[in-house]
Chain A
Amino acid sequence: MSNLELSRKTIETATRKPWQTFLIALPMLLFSLMMLTGGNGLGEDPRELIALLITYVFVNTIFILMVHTGKIDKYRSILFITYAVCFVLWFIPNLIEARGSMNYTSEDIIQGKIPFCHMVTPMILIPAVLKRMIIFPGSLMEGFASIGGMLIIWLGASLALGRGFCSWGCFYGGLEDGFSRLKKKPVLKKINPKWRYLPYAVLLGVVLTSMATLSPTYCVWLCPFKAVTEFEKVTSVLVLIQTIIFASLFVGLVIVLPLLTKKRTQCSFLCPMGAFQSFTNKIDPFEIRIDREKCSNCKVCINVCPTFSMDEASLAEGKANLSCTKCGKCIDRCPKKAISLGVKGTSPKCGTSGGVRLIFLYPAYMFLVTFGGGMIQDAVNRVLLLLSTGKFIQ
């Protein structure tokens, strides 16, 4: 059996008994209800109630299936992709309702009306320390997506998940994750491993140039996700060039290359936030471990890893690379069950039974529901609005 055939083969995982699943899922059933209602009880608008019900049933069905079957990546990806799509369906209409279009103007920048995005985090830290200056045109503490609020959420997610944030929290990641799963076989297989260093170079470049120019250079020049959020109105050749760059990067790295390689290429080859987040894997207590005794060196994990975080060196070392996003795909696909999620500093056998993975699942799911639940709910609400009134924007 070839490596690819092995990688496609679904590895059977022992399912839990229904009562066990229920007990494990119960705290999350209550937590998600609290988060989705905002602790305010149920509203009176029937459409909003239906949207709440659909979201609640959806996110918890996913959680129950993850716990019951143990196939975490399979169900995580469904929720993660839905989250990304719903983010777009939530963000753009809200922006159009507030501003009239997806464009922002110089006035919006001067007035600090740009919602803060986690991608800017590595760029603002050094100028904030060296020059006591926030180089992003957003609100520091007040209003929607304030800088302070987003930084606190990011800090919490980093401590709990490390770079797992990229597979459980990032509202962009699901887009390329979705495209990378559309084809059965990769068309492009041979990729020079040196390209894995590119996000670190982009990180270094944007941090240093942001410090020198006191502007978030990645957002201005490179961020591909402006295509699905907001971008500057084209009023000059300069802005036109910037628009062409981000649109090309979106098409190339978020749609085409993930389709051809079955990898998350934007995360692997460009994202400075991902590179920055990799360092938080050092402080996060969870790590992917490879049991060298069980490993048959079939390389399935190397083939299926969406972020190039498994290679020959990591197999020899018995753990994933620093860039691991803890999506769990390697654990689910390993034919020998040689890969597990463990806790740093504990014995190698700790986590092999799947208990640690379950412990990781709680904060990961809590973060996803807290951050994404409202977006999914709003997106469902808008779809219902479209079906009932023919309007998507109010």
Chain B
Amino acid sequence: MKGFLLGLANGTVCLASCVPILTPYLLGQGQTVRRNYLDLGRFLAGRLIGYLFFAVLAWSLGLLVDQKSVYREIIFGGSYCFLAGLLIYYSFRKETGLCAMEIVKGGLPGFMKKSTLLLPFALGLFSGLNLCPPLLMALAGAASEGNLAASLFFFGAFFLGTSVFFLPIPFMGLLNRKEALQTIGKMAAGLIGVYYFGMGILILVGGVNRL
């Protein structure tokens, strides 16, 4: 319950951290609301795995994540760079879509089929692997739980509390002028990717210098 309430209380902050990654992706896809919800599900599943990783980390380290550790900067800097790489890849990827007929005919290469399904999951995973202020609070909250199951449960509840705020996002599928919005979404994904890549490099350099 504590984790869920903490998630609800900090949902807007989590939303602010994840929306720059999710919105351009969904806009770029230009899909219906139903398909957007499927992608949101994949994104959230990735994010949940990221959160559960923190739960395990919190338990296994005992001290949870040492706030002063240089490894923290290297892990999160690297995570930012991966996230940026995915966004940039997405912005340049030639959209073939998941046309049912093409799949039936085997017109799409296997990698492309997989990447269309996996990309939102990977975006969710790497955005979940970033320390935003609410996650730090959740880490501190999970620290008091003492065992792995309780830590996992705490992060799971925290995830549910924050996820409520993501539910309206897929409704952008109702917007008109999809072609223009797709172009804008892809361009924005590229720009945000470049920005996050720069941030990731800065965090990495900071961590490496302190080694």
Contact = CB atoms under 8 A, between A and B. Distances in A.
A290 B16 CA distance: 42
Contacts, number: 58
Nearest to B17: A212
Nearest to A214: B16
Interface in A216-238: 217, 221, 238
Given A197-B184, A208-B20, A131 B13 contact: yes
B23 A208 contact: yes
A211 B16 contact: yes
B20 A211 contact: yes
Nearest to B196: A209
Nearest to A206: B191
A202 interface: yes
Mostly, the A contact residues are helix
Contacts of A238: 202
B19 A205 contact: no
B180 to A, nearest CB: 6
B187 interface: yes
A97 B180 CA distance: 47
B184 A201 contact: yes
A366 interface: no
Given A205-B191, A209-B20, A211-B16, A200 B202 contact: no
Interface string B10-22: 0011011101100
Contacts of A194: 183
B12 A131 contact: yes
Given A205-B188, A205-B195, A221-B195, A212 B183 contact: no
A212 B191 contact: no
Interface string A126-157: 01001100000000000000000000000000
From A198, A202, A205, name the one whose CB has the most chain B CB atoms within 10 angstroms: A205
B24 interface: yes
Contacts of B186: 201
A205 B21 CA distance: 10
A208 B20 CA distance: 5
A204 B16 contact: no
Interface residues of B, number: 22
Interface residues of A, number: 18
A102 B190 CA distance: 32
Interface string A183-218: 000000000001001101110110011011000010
Contacts of A202: 188, 191
A222 to B, nearest CB: 9
A3 B23 CA distance: 42
Given A211-B16, A211-B19, A212-B17, A205 B183 contact: no
Interface of A: 127, 130-131, 194, 197-198, 200-202, 204-205, 208-209, 211-212, 217, 221, 238
30 contacts: A127-B16, A194-B183, A197-B184, A197-B187, A200-B187, A200-B188, A201-B184, A201-B185, A201-B187, A201-B188, A201-B190, A201-B191, A202-B188, A204-B184, A204-B185, A204-B188, A205-B24, A205-B188, A205-B192, A208-B20, A208-B23, A208-B24, A208-B188, A211-B19, A211-B20, A212-B16, A212-B20, A217-B195, A221-B195, A238-B202
Interface of B: 12-13, 15-17, 19-20, 23-24, 27, 180, 183-188, 190-192, 195, 202
Given A197-B187, A200-B188, 5 more contacts: A130-B12, A201-B187, A208-B188, A212-B19, A212-B20
